[in-house]
Chain A
């Protein structure tokens, strides 16, 4: 077992983890933050996307010990109290979610991407989302929501 200290959604957690424990299971099973979903076992789907020091990562590709000393934001920590983050608001207004399973990962991937490229084109948004799969929406409204959040004309 290894001792780690991770700040998740602003709260510092000190915990013992198995060295092979993946970050996503640390979040889900040890911290009981189940908003971060697991949709695959090959790092393909992006359902598990979180922000690590503000940048999106697939939390199934990181070990919990690699998050030691870092800040993690999960979907539970994105809104400002009762006020949606603008990306959550855009997803809501543009019907960018159906079953909602891909949504936490999509939203966080999009938040991170707009920080990197605040005024993307549609083609750029589509390319940026390559690592996040959604089976319900056909992506149309997800792309629209992200463009809207960027301030672009949808």
Chain B
């Protein structure tokens, strides 16, 4: 039986189920000192002075440092790797602010103490002389005339402008029988990985720096530490131990890492920082916060001909690693899975006095999907078609598909996914119940919402990333080593934080090399063990890393074939290969297993002339295209029309992610993604008050859903293998989040259709729903 395609139970569970996880805060080298960071309570304030004397004199304190004290440790500021345009304002972002704090949470000083508690207590004693100045937290207010400037060198708070125009958009709109124009607000979200961040640094006498950090990107961090701190990259070892979720928020290059590393070098002791949750809500990146305008041009029947989009995207106070690029990750997707001729996307990045935004699960693609999936609903209303009819009329239906925005979709079958979604839902029965409730004027109305999505993930090829000015490549490096006794090591440049790489990748190798899944040891997340990699984001691990692993395994097989042929004294072509065993064509008894070849390769007593000993191979894979998952998600909500309360009654997800390696793990990714997308639709929102204080600063007021608010999900799949890679796989890490938000909001609007409600902002709280009903009644 092949391992690929099976729901192999996870190898990684044993340690996590028994409390043996190695999350950063669990690690505690002897002599460790602890860091607590003093953060600005003001959204915008001049720093006129800092008095550290009381803190420095407190019990257990090792040292107290201001930004000025540490400025010599860092060469410039934290890097932004994605300067998207010529007009971008690459503002200075120091790990600790020196002259001005630009958001509530901006770090201004740091306390080092012998214990966690002593550091925290002493931080309270640091006296900062702040002079509050006017601030702006709202993206539209920030571009208004006379708005306070977050950076003096960014007039109008404009960070950049970027556009993508194809086809004769003006003509298409002029010729259109029907147009719709909609405006949507993507509220600000707080990623909330359950493990807050942490970083621990040790420096030995030779100056070798070991950083253990809760990151999605140990290799990217190693490079970033060199850029910011000037430490030779070869002297740095970065370890991502067990990481308790990321969702993009642990991909960033953070101030605290620089502070901890700098202090460890300065003090010659291990230094540790562990984020608290309420600190995480201001100090770890936020997501979304975009105002979207979308216009569709269409024929009288509702066939879309053109799409025009205008975005104002909040950057927050600074540009983090890929902040400016997040809207671009959705820039090609504002026509969704629909066939259009003309396309116009324009985005303005805007500074505000808020926590910086950056890539949060889906990054740009949930925003795009939300806009087009809601706008097509508006179009359906206008032309009098159902949500299903309007989609069928507009679906792209031949593949590969060159889309108006300029890229090529690898494969898909959008009608098939919609068919299956309707079948799983039992559409007719739900429609009938909805009709009954409408007829009965039931207090609780049903709504059915659709989201037929396509997304682009894998974030490669490197050539395209380069053309977009992205600061890194899109390749991944995987190595396979067969040890002398036949067990296998996989060295992976992409590293997990819950996705189950160890199991999935072992399945791929097990099949190629004819070994058991349990014979494969998966190694990652330590730059001393796996020196090369591009890490984990953008649903890239399988479609980039997994494919690299396939190719590396094939290289191992090719070498083993040469060894086997030499041993068996036949030509390499005269060998069949199946399930790890080479056999001589015509005499299948004569053969050799890859494991045996590994032993021969290790003794090297009798190898073909010129062959290097050992049986291992590395493959660095740079995909020829993005991977394009698609599917049909359908939400059914029950809305209490008297209280405005929305219950998610059912959720159907049919995804097409190409071939599936481990269905159980894939389903788990979809489940978690759905929950996060539903949460944006119904509950989550980061709110600032008019003075720039974050009102949702803890888990008491930032509403991450529990099991009690969510249903079980009904999952199914269609499969159109990706033709661009030999595994036929696509990414799955973000599909649920990308697809689910518009499905739920469309369902809420559908429930409110009898009241004439056609628009509502997220999250669709009881108050918003209730108000929408009242206003529509007027």
A→B interface (CB under 8 Å): 18, 25, 28-29, 32-42, 44-45, 47, 74-76, 78-79, 84, 88, 91-93, 95, 97-104, 107, 122, 125-127, 129-144
Contact of B244 among A37, A40, A129 (CB under 8 A): A37
> Taking CB as reference atom, which chain A residue is nearest B704?
A133
Q: Are B710 and A139 in contact (CB under 8 A)?
A: yes
Assembly CA distance A109 to B500 (angstroms): 24
1/0 contact trace for B470-503 toward A, CB 8 Å?
0000000000000000000000000001111000
Q: Are B194 and A45 in contact (CB under 8 A)?
A: yes
B→A interface (CB under 8 Å): 7, 9-10, 12-21, 23, 25-26, 28, 116-117, 192-196, 242-245, 247, 276-278, 497-500, 664-665, 667-668, 671-676, 698-700, 704, 706-708, 710, 712-713, 736
Q: Are A129 and B707 in contact (CB under 8 A)?
A: yes
Assembly CA distance A47 to B19 (angstroms): 12
> Taking CB as reference atom, which chain B residue is nearest A74?
B19
With a cutoff of 8 Å between Cβ atoms, the chain B residues found around residue A141 in the complex are 667-668, 671
Contact of B9 among A74, A78, A92, A134 (CB under 8 A): A92
Q: Are A34 and B26 in contact (CB under 8 A)?
A: yes
Q: Are B243 and A32 in contact (CB under 8 A)?
A: no
- A79 → chain B, closest Cβ, in Å? 6
Task: List 11 A–B pairs whose Cβ atoms lie within 8 Å, in order of A's numbering.
Answer: A44-B699, A88-B18, A98-B672, A101-B195, A132-B706, A135-B194, A135-B704, A138-B674, A139-B707, A141-B671, A143-B707
Assembly CA distance A135 to B190 (angstroms): 12
Best-surrounded residue of B18, B192, B195, B671 (most CB of chain A within 10 A): B18
Q: Are B277 and A40 in contact (CB under 8 A)?
A: yes
- A80 → chain B, closest Cβ, in Å? 11
Query: A75-B18, A75-B19 given as contacts; is B706 within 8 A of A130 (CB)?
Result: yes
Query: A41-B276, A41-B277 given as contacts; is B18 within 8 A of A79 (CB)?
Result: yes
Q: Are B672 and A95 in contact (CB under 8 A)?
A: no
Q: Are A100 and B708 in contact (CB under 8 A)?
A: no
With a cutoff of 8 Å between Cβ atoms, the chain B residues found around residue A41 in the complex are 276-278, 698
Assembly CA distance A101 to B16 (angstroms): 8
Q: Are B19 and A136 in contact (CB under 8 A)?
A: no
- B382 → chain A, closest Cβ, in Å? 34
Closest 8 CB pairs of A and B: A35-B19, A100-B16, A101-B244, A99-B498, A138-B675, A98-B498, A44-B699, A138-B671
Q: Are B699 and A133 in contact (CB under 8 A)?
A: yes
Q: Are A42 and B194 in contact (CB under 8 A)?
A: no
Best-surrounded residue of A38, A40, A44, A138 (most CB of chain B within 10 A): A138
Q: Are A42 and B277 in contact (CB under 8 A)?
A: yes
Query: A34-B26, A100-B17, A141-B668 given as contacts; is B195 within 8 A of A125 (CB)?
Result: no
* Chain B interface, >50% SS class: loop
> Taking CB as reference atom, which chain A residue is nearest B274?
A38
Assembly CA distance A40 to B195 (angstroms): 9
With a cutoff of 8 Å between Cβ atoms, the chain A residues found around residue B116 in the complex are 25, 29
Assembly CA distance A34 to B193 (angstroms): 18
Query: A133-B699, A138-B671 given as contacts; is B194 within 8 A of A35 (CB)?
Result: no
- A82 → chain B, closest Cβ, in Å? 10
Query: A35-B20, A41-B276, A75-B18 given as contacts; is B9 within 8 A of A138 (CB)?
Result: no
Contact of A95 among B18, B26, B664, B675 (CB under 8 A): B664
Total number of residue pairs linking A and B with CB closer than 8 Å: 181
Assembly CA distance A131 to B668 (angstroms): 21
- B124 → chain A, closest Cβ, in Å? 14
Assembly CA distance A37 to B675 (angstroms): 22
Contact of B707 among A40, A95, A101, A126 (CB under 8 A): A126
Q: Are A91 and B13 in contact (CB under 8 A)?
A: yes
Q: A93-B9, A98-B499, A140-B671 are in contact. List 12 more A-B contacts (CB 8 A).
A: A34-B19, A36-B19, A39-B195, A42-B277, A45-B277, A45-B699, A92-B9, A107-B17, A127-B708, A133-B699, A135-B247, A138-B710
Q: Are B708 and A76 in contact (CB under 8 A)?
A: no
Assembly CA distance A74 to B21 (angstroms): 14
With a cutoff of 8 Å between Cβ atoms, the chain A residues found around residue B676 in the complex are 135, 138
- B214 → chain A, closest Cβ, in Å? 10
Assembly CA distance A67 to B183 (angstroms): 55
With a cutoff of 8 Å between Cβ atoms, the chain A residues found around residue B117 in the complex are 18
Q: Are B19 and A104 in contact (CB under 8 A)?
A: yes
> Taking CB as reference atom, which chain B residue is nearest A38?
B25
Assembly CA distance A136 to B268 (angstroms): 37
Q: Are B706 and A139 in contact (CB under 8 A)?
A: yes
With a cutoff of 8 Å between Cβ atoms, the chain A residues found around residue B12 in the complex are 100
- A60 → chain B, closest Cβ, in Å? 10
- A29 → chain B, closest Cβ, in Å? 7
Q: Are A122 and B13 in contact (CB under 8 A)?
A: no
Assembly CA distance A141 to B18 (angstroms): 18
> Taking CB as reference atom, which chain A residue is nearest B713?
A140
> Taking CB as reference atom, which chain A residue is nearest B670?
A138
Q: Are A137 and B19 in contact (CB under 8 A)?
A: no
Assembly CA distance A87 to B699 (angstroms): 27
With a cutoff of 8 Å between Cβ atoms, the chain A residues found around residue B673 in the complex are 138
Q: Are B19 and A42 in contact (CB under 8 A)?
A: no
